[in-house]
Amino acid sequence: MQNTEGAGRIGDHSLLPLFPIVSVVSATIMTPQLDTAQHILIKTLLKEEFETKLIASKASCSVRAVQRIRLKRQQFEMPTPKNKPRRPS
């Protein structure tokens, strides 16, 4: 019979065979990717300037997903900055 006196103290390895170590998965849960129909709906509603919360509820997605798509659209529409030639000093 195994001695259980002092079991559970820090550094006591007598419980290791009884309770195997289980790897812990990160608490971050990835949501499934949006399908094509959701993307089209979100882009259409963004074009019509609906509110983010309304778009997210109609497209059954998160507000953050709509914000991310809005930001990508704005970056795509903005012209890339061109380097201007500097005057010689």
Q: Is the pLDDT of residue 30 over 70?
A: no
pLDDT, tens digit (0-9, with 9 covering 90-100), for 3-27: 555 555 555 555 555 555 555 555 6
Q: Return the domain boundaries, the chain.
A: 36-77
With beta carbons less than 8 A apart as the criterion, state whether 22 and 29 touch: no
Comparison of pLDDT for 85 and 71, the residue scoring more: 71
Q: What is the pLDDT of residue 52?
A: 96
Q: Report how far residue 77's alpha carbon sits from residue 24's, in angstroms, rounded to the nearest whole number.
A: 43
Quick one: tokens of 50?
């609906």
For CA atoms 7, 10, 14, 20, give the dihedral sign.
positive
pLDDT, tens digit (0-9, with 9 covering 90-100), for 72-82: 988 877 766 66
